[in-house]
């Protein structure tokens, strides 16, 4: 994630905005906006000084207006108390298939392989399974609050549970990664079975909890959730969020399927 190319992408956004007040930006690219606090502050300062227009709505919720809705709540004087959701369409698909309310024997590696064939994953699925995509989205949201949460290292400051087995952590070749992943199917299967016996499903969830403003919590990881049984097997990628604020005590839910 810290490759030279990624660093160039981040600098390119910052330098491009500096060149002219007529330079405006519409991007789904999360890298610069989930980078270090220093880089993010430099971009924000440049935007304020030059009057650039920057639209980054698609960095978090795909087609959902997550950032703009949050900003509108803040502008009207409301305060976010909690936002949680399934931020990754790829992770959503994988766990919708792997962990269901009805018994399934499909292995984790088989589900990941199908997701890769469908084009849902990155070229190397490890880049999805490490949880960094969700961490990046959380860091972007955390910086759009009325009282932004300090994340000195950006997304790397977000506690994130990787789904990559430790022996595969340093495997960069996607072919090697996918050919070795089946060796850990039993481990993933145990997690699924433990959840199933309690009427729960596994989902990869991102959370920002400001219930106690003095101890803000931001994290990304695997959660066991209670889900109602459905007649048909889920096949789609679903990105969904729910927000609670001081004004709206019940959740504001936004969801999109693709």
Give the pair of three-digit tokens for residue 129.
Answer: 């399974």
Distance, in Å, from the CA atom of 223 to the CA atom of 129, rounded to the nearest integer, reads 14
- Marked catalytic residue, from 137, 219, 237, 243: 137
> Quick one: 43 and 99 in the same domain?
no
Q: Is 31 a catalytic residue?
A: no
- Distance (Å, whole) CA 136 – CA 138: 5
Whether 142 and 182 map to the same domain: the answer is: yes
Does residue 122 share a domain with residue 101? yes
| Total count of domains within the chain | 2
Counting as low any pLDDT under 70, the low residues of the chain are 1-11, 20, 228-236, 249-258
Domain limits for position 48: 1-56
| 4 φ/ψ angles, rounded to the nearest 5 degrees | -60, -40
Nearest Cα to 50, choosing from 24, 13, 11? 24
Token representation of residue 69: 């809705």
Residue 136 pLDDT: 97
Q: What is the mean pLDDT of the chain?
A: 88
200-209, strands of its sheet edge to edge? 217-226, 200-209, 80-86, 238-245, 252-257
What pLDDT was estimated at residue 1? 34
pLDDT at position 2: 35
Contact yes or no for 169/132 (Cβ under 8 A): no
Q: In the structure encoding, which two tokens stand for residue 225, read together?
A: 């959730």
**Whole-angstrom Cα distance, residue 61 to residue 206?**
12
Per-residue model confidence (pLDDT) at position 122? 94
In the prediction, which pLDDT does 137 show?
96
What pLDDT is recorded for position 202? 97
CATH code (residue 67): 3.30.360.10
């Amino acid at each position: 994630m810290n490759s030279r190319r990624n660093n160039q992408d981040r600098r390119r956004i910052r330098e491009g905005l500096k060149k002219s007040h007529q330079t405006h930006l519409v991007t789904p690219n999360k890298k610069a906006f989930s980078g270090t606090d220093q880089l993010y502050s430099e971009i924000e300062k440049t935007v304020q000084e030059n009057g650039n227009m920057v639209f980054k709505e698609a960095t978090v919720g795909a087609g959902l207006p997550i950032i703009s809705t949050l900003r509108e709540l803040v502008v009207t004087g409301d305060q976010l108390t909690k936002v949680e959701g399934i931020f990754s369409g790829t992770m959503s698909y994988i766990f919708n298939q792997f962990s269901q309310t009805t018994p399934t024997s499909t292995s984790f590696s088989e589900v990941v392989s199908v997701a890769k064939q469908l084009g849902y994953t990155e070229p190397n699925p490890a880049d999805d399974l490490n949880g960094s995509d969700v961490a990046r989205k959380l860091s972007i949201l955390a910086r759009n609050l009325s009282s932004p949460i300090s994340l000195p290292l950006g997304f790397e400051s977000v506690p994130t549970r990787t789904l990559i087995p430790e022996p595969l952590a340093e495997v960069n070749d996607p072919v090697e990664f996918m050919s070795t992943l089946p060796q850990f199917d039993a481990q993933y299967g145990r997690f699924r079975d433990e959840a199933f016996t309690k009427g729960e499903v596994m989902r990869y969830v991102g959370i920002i909890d400001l219930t106690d403003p003095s101890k803000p919590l931001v994290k990304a990881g695997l959660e066991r959730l209670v889900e109602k049984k459905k007649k048909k097997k889920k096949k789609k990628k679903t990105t969904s969020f729910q927000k609670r604020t001081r004004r709206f005590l019940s959740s504001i839910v936004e969801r999109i399927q693709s």
